[in-house]
Amino acid sequence: MKPTVKSTLSLIKKAHSGQTYGSRPYWTHPLAVAEKGREIFGSKFTDTAYMAALMHDTIEDTDITLTDLQKLGYSAQILDAVELVTKDKSLDYEGNIRRITRSRNPFAMMVKFADNFMNYTGDKSNWDAKRAAKSQEKYMKSMQTIGKVLGVNPETYL
């Protein structure tokens, strides 16, 4: 059976079980990224993009592999987007953003934009000021870089 948004949400809940994002269950972060993607990109943020957003941290932060997702029946479009947004540890952060934008993969770019938006707007009240400022600068720069390719200004949504 072909994976659905509902089955993908179940998959990430199980895969990220026991992990937290701040004080919340980790799976709430990818769900928020998917919802923000829909809000920003509208009909361009199809179920393909939505499922890629739900799984954007799965390979990086769980035992699930790209091969596992392929065996579960996820499409090449979803797999390509998930692979692109998965951190390449041989690159620095900016290198990973360049890799995504150079791919011109619309799903990967929209997912990463939404992910960075959620990271940018997330609660940093318990962070020291220097760390918070550095984080904000990194995510805004990334959103601007990706936004140029997608024709989206991140400041419009803040």
Rounded to the nearest 10 degrees, the angle between the axes of helix 76-85 and helix 93-103 is 150
Which residues constitute the domain of residue 40? 5-157
CATH of the domain at 22: 1.10.3210.10
The structural domain count of the chain equals 1
Tokens of 141: 């720069």
Helix (H, G, I), strand (E, B) or coil at 104: coil
Q: What is the average pLDDT value for the chain, to the nearest integer?
A: 95
How many CB atoms are located within 10 Å of the residue 7 CB? 13
C-alpha–C-alpha distance, residues 106 and 46, integer Å: 11
Q: 10-residue block means of pLDDT along the chain (158 residues)? A: 96 96 91 97 97 97 97 97 97 97 98 97 88 94 97 92
- pTM given for the model: 0.95
